[in-house]
């Protein structure tokens, strides 16, 4: 069981290692092509003659080709450079001789003024060499020289090329631009990840105050009719009119406070103030007799009824006593 566990752990470690190397294996390289800003050749046979405007760069006995490139647009680290090659189109060649290239430390020369007598010196150690053929592209590997000098502040790089037998390369004045000298740098793209955190706080406060006033008037009319009948012909009619005026005043105050990305609070305050006005009107009809007359009229039947009752009681007693 322990061996099985160790095998599983080792398998996972192996897979993790393979995955970690996958980006490097799948990295796609790109190329940047630079054309010379100055190119010319000098001739020891004519030491004061300038050949900077010629459309061919001629090599041979006593001839030296100078070429200069501006690499200021190449901003990647040196570690990203895969290779660098000088590339020339061979217009003519007499024999298949070796061509040698050297680094020129002094970059102050220009193609309009350079001659054999004022030419800049170059390093004695050759950077690269190779054989050339007629009417074909010729390449020289200058990767080390580019890597060593691209870190200069001005990023201007010059080369000197020599050959014992005659040969001609197309210059930057050549009629066909696609055959001009080239410096081709192959590199790995550099990806830089920058994390930027932006914190933005937006506070919006809206205060809305709304006042709503409602006035409601309610009028109520109440009529009360009472009819009272006494033992006389006196009739009392009472008429009461009640007029109610109700005035309601409603005041609504809405205060709304809203904040973006926050809770919304709405406060509603309603105040109702009722006002009730009641008017009562009572009307009494005229009485047919005054108060005392009505009282006498009401007592007379009562006295008569009492008298009759007393008479009946007397007769009843008399009849009862005679039987004994």
Look over the chain and give the mean of its residue pLDDT values, rounded to a whole number: 75
pLDDT of residue 260: 41
Residue 57 predicted with pLDDT over 60: yes
For the chain, what are the domain ranges? 27-187, 202-284
CATH architecture classification, 27-187: Sandwich (2.60)
H-helix or E-strand containing 102? strand 98-104
Of 99, 111, 108, 97, give the one whose Cα is nearest residue 55.
111
Give residue 136's pLDDT band: very low, low, confident or very high (50, 70, 90). confident
Residue 235 predicted with pLDDT over 60: no
Question: pTM of the entire structure?
Answer: 0.53
Residue 86 predicted with pLDDT over 90: yes
- 23 versus 148: the higher-pLDDT residue is 148
The residues, ordered by sequence, that sit 6+ positions from 208 with a Cβ below 8 Å of its Cβ are 254, 255, 256
Give residue 312's pLDDT band: very low, low, confident or very high (50, 70, 90). confident
Give residue 131's pLDDT band: very low, low, confident or very high (50, 70, 90). confident
Spatial separation of the C-alpha atoms in residues 15 and 313, rounded to whole Å: 138
Task: Report the share of the chain in percent with pLDDT over 70.
Answer: 59
The residues, ordered by sequence, that sit 6+ positions from 23 with a Cβ below 8 Å of its Cβ are none
pLDDT of residue 213: 62
Give residue 264's pLDDT band: very low, low, confident or very high (50, 70, 90). very low
User: What's the average model confidence in pLDDT over 280-290?
Assistant: 44
H-helix or E-strand containing 12? helix 2-25
pLDDT of residue 197: 72
Beta-bridged to residue 136, according to DSSP, are none
pLDDT of residue 1: 63
Give residue 165's pLDDT band: very low, low, confident or very high (50, 70, 90). confident
Give residue 34's pLDDT band: very low, low, confident or very high (50, 70, 90). very high
| Neighbour tally for 74: CB within 10 Å | 18
Spatial separation of the C-alpha atoms in residues 274 and 277, rounded to whole Å: 10
Residue 172 predicted with pLDDT over 90: yes
């Amino acid at each position: 069981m322990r061996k099985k566990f160790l095998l599983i752990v080792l398998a996972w470690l192996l897979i993790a290692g393979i995955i970690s190397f996958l980006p490097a294996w799948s990295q796609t390289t790109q190329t940047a092509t630079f054309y010379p800003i100055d190119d010319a050749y000098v001739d020891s046979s004519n030491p004061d003659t300038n050949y900077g405007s010629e459309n061919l760069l001629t090599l041979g006995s006593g001839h030296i080709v100078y070429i200069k490139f501006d690499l200021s647009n190449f901003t990647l680290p040196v570690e990203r450079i895969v290779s660098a090659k000088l590339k020339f189109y061979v217009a003519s060649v007499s024999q298949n001789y070796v061509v040698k290239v050297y680094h020129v430390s002094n970059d102050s020369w220009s193609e309009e003024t350079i001659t054999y007598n004022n030419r800049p010196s170059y390093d004695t150690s050759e950077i690269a060499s190779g054989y050339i053929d007629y009417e074909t592209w010729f390449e020289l590997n200058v990767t080390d020289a580019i890597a060593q000098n691209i870190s200069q502040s001005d990023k201007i790089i010059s080369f000197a090329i020599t050959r014992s037998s005659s040969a001609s390369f197309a210059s930057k004045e050549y009629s066909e631009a696609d055959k001009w000298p080239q410096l081709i740098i192959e590199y790995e793209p550099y990806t830089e990840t920058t994390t930027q955190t932006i914190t933005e706080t937006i506070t919006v406060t809206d205060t809305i105050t709304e006042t709503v006033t409602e006035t409601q008037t309610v009028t109520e009319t109440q009529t009360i009719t009472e009819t009272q009948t006494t033992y006389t012909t006196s009739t009392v009619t009472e008429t009461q009119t009640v007029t109610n005026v109700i005035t309601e005043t409603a005041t609504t105050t809405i205060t709304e406070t809203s904040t973006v990305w926050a809770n919304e609070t709405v406060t509603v305050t309603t105040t109702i103030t009722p006002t009730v006005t009641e008017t009562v009107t009572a009307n009494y009809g005229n009485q047919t007799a005054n108060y005392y007359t009505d009282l006498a009229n009401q007592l007379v039947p009562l006295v008569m009824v009492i008298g009759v009752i007393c008479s009946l009681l007397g007769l009843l007693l008399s009849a009862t006593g005679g039987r004994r």
